[in-house]
């Protein structure tokens, strides 16, 4: 949630300016106070009325309009901002900012602010690649300016290349990351696993399960938004990579184990939300298995996969999930004991609004001392927050816990 956050959204003159209406709308819907400042040329591409409509706030378009109140307010906006986001940012605004020019409302506000500034450039490939633009970018990066690299694709010029405004989703993710960097998990390193694994039978078939990855992604994103450094190890999912998180894609349980072992040594916490396959085909054929004579059964020999959570141990907290269909608390408690976990989140995957594929979950969090807390049905995002609250308590209570020195 972006409640209580003031986001100053600077819009400069680019054909991509229309996309900022969606950005302003989504940020407002998420609770932020969005103060839009448009450059003169931005107003040629999209009307300030659109932004006024989606933010319910006055839009600053000129330093000289008495009615805008900006002449008195511009320092106030610079001070009120928790973050300034310029999206889309032209080569021109980047050049001005790199040189301390303050000749309009937006440049004045940026020059006056102590808040972090996030810049999402959008321009023609040639302008972006030009060494002058790149030098300006490099100069700003040495200050508290963060850049979101422009995307590759269709450009207004009709060409295909680098220079498209990054996805609004990535811009919002990065805003959350920057706003959360002094959060209560700052300095903590978390490894999260998500999704199911695919265990190949032959080149075209695999054994898999219904895990969508949503719970693990929600945990990873919530930890990022609280300032943690996050590694997300995920099996195949339909979800896009979240920004501000190191994402490692794997297919099989064995690959997941390797990735966990490699990354967890430096971590404070391992949270295994992945639905790891328990069995994999003993042999994997290199050619597609053919249908046999009609009526003849096909038998697959399966062997156990490594139990990652049970086998990977160290000085970090270990948190598991238990996907159950019956005797939920008993089964989950047994897993907590057998795998010697610090916490386990148990959920009934047979309930229609809980478990696989849906956006909500109903979990009971059980800790080592046997205490359990049954949470009501809530979004996976909220469940993630509650799990992290418990993780943080344990981390802070851990004898000698100072976090790792990284």
Looking at the annotation, which residues are catalytic?
209
- Comparing CB distances to ligand CTP, the nearer of 13 and 355 is 355
CB of 324 to ligand CTP, least distance (A): 7
What token pair was written down for 274? 């992945």
- Comparing CB distances to ligand CTP, the nearer of 74 and 335 is 335
Q: Is 192 in the site for ligand CTP (CB under 6 A)?
A: no
Q: For residues 376 and 237, what is the distance between their CA atoms, to the nearest angstrom?
A: 26
**Which residues neighbour 161 within 8 Å (Cβ) at sequence distance 6 or greater?**
124, 125, 152, 155
- Comparing CB distances to ligand CTP, the nearer of 316 and 321 is 321
Q: Is 381 in the site for ligand CTP (CB under 6 A)?
A: no
- Considering only the stretches 43-51, 117-125, 203-211, 272-280, report the one whose residues sit in contact with ligand CTP under the rule CB under 6 A: 272-280
Q: For residues 339 and 300, what is the distance between their CA atoms, to the nearest angstrom?
A: 29
CB of 32 to ligand CTP, least distance (A): 34
- Comparing CB distances to ligand CTP, the nearer of 188 and 257 is 257
SS3 342: coil
Identified binder of ligand CTP from the candidate list 91, 119, 232, 274, rule CB under 6 A: 274
What token pair was written down for 153? 């694709």
Size of site (CB under 6 A) for ligand CTP: 14
Which helix (H) or strand (E) segment holds residue 244: the answer is none
Considering only CA atoms, which of 216, 220, 224 is closest in space to residue 177? 224
**Which residues neighbour 208 within 8 Å (Cβ) at sequence distance 6 or greater?**
196, 197, 198, 199, 236, 277
Q: Is 232 in the site for ligand CTP (CB under 6 A)?
A: no
Q: Is 86 in the site for ligand CTP (CB under 6 A)?
A: no
Query: Which own/partner contact pairs does 308-314 have at CB distance under 8 Å and 24+ positions apart?
Result: 308/193, 308/253, 308/256, 308/257, 308/260, 308/272, 308/276, 309/270, 309/272, 309/339, 309/341, 310/338, 310/339, 311/257, 312/257, 312/260, 312/261, 312/264, 312/270, 313/340, 314/264, 314/265
Identified binder of ligand CTP from the candidate list 278, 356, 367, 398, rule CB under 6 A: 278
Residues 24 to 43 in contact with ligand CTP, rule: CB under 6 A:
none
Q: Is 272 in the site for ligand CTP (CB under 6 A)?
A: yes
Considering only CA atoms, which of 147, 89, 84 is closest in space to residue 115? 84
- Considering only the stretches 123-131, 178-186, 268-276, 347-355, report the one whose residues sit in contact with ligand CTP under the rule CB under 6 A: 268-276
Q: Is 250 in the site for ligand CTP (CB under 6 A)?
A: no
Q: Is 253 in the site for ligand CTP (CB under 6 A)?
A: yes
Q: Is 82 in the site for ligand CTP (CB under 6 A)?
A: no
Residues 307 to 366 in contact with ligand CTP, rule: CB under 6 A:
307-309, 320-323, 335
Query: DSSP alpha helices (H): ranges in 318-379?
Result: 328-338
Compute, in degrees rounded to 10, the torsion defined by CA atoms 219, 221, 223, 224: 160
CB of 384 to ligand CTP, least distance (A): 14
> What is the 3-state composition of the chain as percent helix, strand, coil, each rounded to the nearest 5?
35, 25, 40
Residues 142 to 181 in contact with ligand CTP, rule: CB under 6 A:
none
CB of 255 to ligand CTP, least distance (A): 12
Q: Is 93 in the site for ligand CTP (CB under 6 A)?
A: no
**Which positions touch ligand CTP (CB under 6 A)?**
253, 272, 274, 276, 278, 305, 307-309, 320-323, 335
């Amino acid at each position: 949630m972006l409640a209580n956050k003031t986001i100053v959204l600077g819009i400069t003159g680019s054909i991509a300016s229309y996309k900022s209406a969606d950005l302003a709308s989504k940020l407002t819907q998420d609770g932020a106070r969005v103060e839009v400042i448009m450059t003169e040329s931005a107003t040629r591409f999209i009307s300030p009325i659109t932004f006024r409509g989606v933010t319910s706030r006055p839009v600053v378009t000129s330093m000289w309009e008495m009615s805008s109140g900006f002449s008195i307010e511009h320092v106030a906006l610079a001070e009120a901002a928790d973050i300034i986001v310029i999206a889309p940012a032209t080569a021109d605004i980047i050049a001005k900012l790199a040189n301390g020019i303050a000749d309009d409302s937006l440049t004045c506000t940026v020059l006056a602010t102590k808040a972090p500034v996030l810049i999402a450039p959008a321009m023609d490939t040639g302008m972006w690649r030009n060494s002058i633009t790149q030098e300006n970018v490099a100069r700003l990066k040495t200050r508290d300016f963060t850049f979101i690299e422009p995307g590759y694709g269709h450009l207004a010029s009709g060409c295909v290349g680098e220079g498209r405004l990054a996805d609004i989703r990535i811009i919002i993710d990065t805003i959350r990351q920057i706003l959360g960097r002094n959060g209560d998990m700052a300095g903590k390193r978390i490894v999260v696993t998500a999704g199911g694994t695919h265990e190949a039978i032959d080149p075209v078939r695999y054994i898999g399960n219904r895990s969508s990855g949503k719970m693990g992604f929600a945990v990873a994103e919530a930890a990022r938004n609280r300032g943690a450094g996050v590694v997300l190890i995920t099996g195949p999912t339909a979800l896009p990579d979240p920004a501000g998180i190191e994402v490692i894609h794997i297919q099989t349980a064995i690959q997941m184990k390797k990735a966990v072992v490699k990354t967890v040594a430096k971590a404070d916490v391992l949270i295994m939300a992945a639905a790891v396959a328990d069995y994999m085909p003993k042999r994997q054929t290199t050619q597609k298995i053919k249908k046999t004579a009609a009526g003849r059964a096909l038998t697959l020999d399966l062997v156990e996969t490594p139990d990652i959570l049970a086998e990977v141990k160290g000085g970090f907290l270990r948190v598991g999930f238990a996907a159950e269909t019956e005797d939920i608390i008993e089964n989950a408690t047994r897993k907590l004991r057998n795998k010697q976990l610090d916490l386990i989140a148990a959920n009934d995957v047979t309930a229609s609004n809980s478990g696989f594929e849906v956006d909500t979950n109903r979990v009971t969090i059980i800790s080592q001392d046997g205490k359990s807390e049954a949470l009501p049905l809530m979004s996976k995002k909220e469940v993630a927050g509650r799990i992290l609250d418990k993780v943080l308590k344990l981390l802070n209570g851990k004898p000698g816990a100072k976090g790792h020195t990284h």
